[in-house]
Amino acid sequence: MSNVAKAEGKLGVLVVGLGAVSSTFMTGVLMARKGLAKPVGSMTQYDKIRVGQGEEAKYLPYNEIVSIADLKDIVFGAWDVYPANAYESAINCEVLKEKDIEPVKDELVKIVPMKAAFDHNYAARLDGDNVKDAKDRWDMMEQIREDIRRFKAENGCARIVVLWAASTEVYVPVNEKIHYHLADLEAAMKADDKEHIAPSMCYAYAALKEGAPFIMGAPNTTVDIPAMWELAEQTKMPIAGKDFKTGQTLVKSGFAPIIGTRCLGLSGWFSTNILGNRDGLVLDEPANFRTKEVSKLSTLESILVPENQPDLYTNYYHKVRINYYPPRNDNKEGWDNIDIFGWMGYPMQIKINFLCRDSILAAPLCLDLVLLSDLAARAGRFGTQRFLSFFLKSPMHDYTKNEVPVNHLFQQYVMLKNAIREMGGYPADEAID
């Protein structure tokens, strides 16, 4: 049987960023727990996993295998550079219809964002003034810790999870002298090294120090550095990241295995997107797009590996583009042109046009990542949670040991199921082939 601590008491969910994704996530959870909406797309609410084999096999929802926090026990808080509350944000972002927001208006209005730890150099397109006045990065982090403590006490929360659902920061290359050892990272924070210490690192450090799992939902360099792994081990807290796997990369991680499994060749894969929300605005800045590009490019290379099949995957061309297009707002569109070849090298093409809603796809990921990170913490799992790769575009991995991330969607699903089985006291009985 499972020896995981039960999910008792309130679970505080503190979200960095109160924009389209966060307000859609919060509104959906509040509506679902009133029975006014369905949490479609959420694995923790809908998926069933087989436990046992043969005559003993049963297909059970997650909460019958392990103890998962109930939606009614979630309390939301947030930080944002803009002072609009969750209701105002949900209305302004125009993702959801008013009729799907109004029934929970009273609850949303009470979710007022705390001042954000923000550096304009990391997101030049944002100009909000609901920002902390911090004398250095260390002070910035300490103020976040105080926010977490105060929120937990004022809301009577038993546990906290911190989720980054804010914009993509400018690209921060990993620097061995600063990002490899916790002592060096702390020294850089105290020295106010703004070049190497992103605001997101201050949130992650604060969360872990306060005993809260941290989830990175953007492609930022944050918890995917050895210094943060050291801190997660020290505090015995789970970390997960990075970048929500919503539209195009979800398609890529599911479709590339078709090409690989069928032993077809690949000449090139061109992906382009149009997006008009705040995320699109921030990504229109080249330095911020670079962060996203690294994340989106990494998916294919670990699924269709040239070394494994040199006849099929040597020298294929992979290009990713994101274009800011305000009229489309949150309804992004992804085009994929895939040039493949088959028998005797004859060329063929595949075209995919995915007209998706960014926040509608991201909201259930937020819910699952929060609930499963809380579960991992109660199960005593700390450090990088590889089983959460299923939900993330650029899964964290130990690159210092040349570990290759698993990007193959169906292999990721096996990892997820096996972890749930193990935490539920059942054997992990599927192999990742």
Reported as a single tens digit per residue, the pLDDT across 321-380 is 888 899 988 888 999 999 999 999 999 999 999 999 999 999 999 999 999 999 999 999
% of the chain with per-residue pLDDT over 70: 98
Q: What is the pLDDT of residue 1?
A: 67
Cα–Cα distance for residue pair 33/46, rounded to 1 Å? 14
Cα 201 to Cα 9, 105, 125: the distances in Å are 28, 33, 20
Q: What one-letter code names the amino acid at 375?
A: L
Phi/psi of residue 172, nearest 5 degrees? -115, 105
Q: What is the pLDDT of residue 52?
A: 94
For range 232-259, the mean pLDDT: 94
Q: How far apart are the first and last CA of the chain?
A: 27
Q: Where in the chain is the domain with CATH 3.40.50.720?
A: 10-244+359-423
Strand positions, DSSP E, 112-153: 114-115
For range 208-217, the mean pLDDT: 98
Q: Tell me the pLDDT band of 292, cut-offs 50, 70 and 90.
A: low
Q: Check if the beta carbon of residue 137 is closer than 8 Å to that of residue 192.
A: yes
**Superfamily of 10-244+359-423 according to CATH:** NAD(P)-binding Rossmann-like Domain (3.40.50.720)
Tens digit of pLDDT for each residue in 48-85?
A: 999 999 999 999 999 999 999 999 999 999 999 999 99
For range 111-136, the mean pLDDT: 94
**From 3.30.360.10, 3.40.50.10420, 3.40.50.300, 3.20.20.70, which CATH number describes the 248-355 domain?**
3.30.360.10
Residues 119, 122, 126, CA angle at the centre, nearest 5°? Answer: 75
Q: What is the pLDDT of residue 124?
A: 86
For range 30-55, the mean pLDDT: 97
User: What value does the mean pLDDT of the chain take?
Assistant: 94
* Token representation of residue 402: 């040349």
Q: Check if the beta carbon of residue 278 is closer than 8 Å to that of residue 19.
A: yes
pLDDT above 90 (res 282): no
Cα–Cα distance for residue pair 133/136, rounded to 1 Å? 9
- Scored b (16 or more CB within 10 A) or e, 274-288 reads bbbbbbbbbbbbeeb
Q: What is the pLDDT of residue 432?
A: 87
Q: Structure pTM?
A: 0.94
User: 242 preceded by cis ω (within 30°)?
Assistant: yes
Q: Where in the chain is the domain with CATH 3.30.360.10?
A: 248-355
Which residues make Cβ contacts (< 8 Å) with residue 19, sequence separation at least 6?
80, 89, 93, 165, 166, 167, 277, 278, 279
Cα–Cα distance for residue pair 19/40, rounded to 1 Å? 20
- Scored b (16 or more CB within 10 A) or e, 400-409 reads eeeeebbbbb
Phi/psi of residue 274, nearest 5 degrees? -120, 135
pLDDT above 80 (res 154): yes
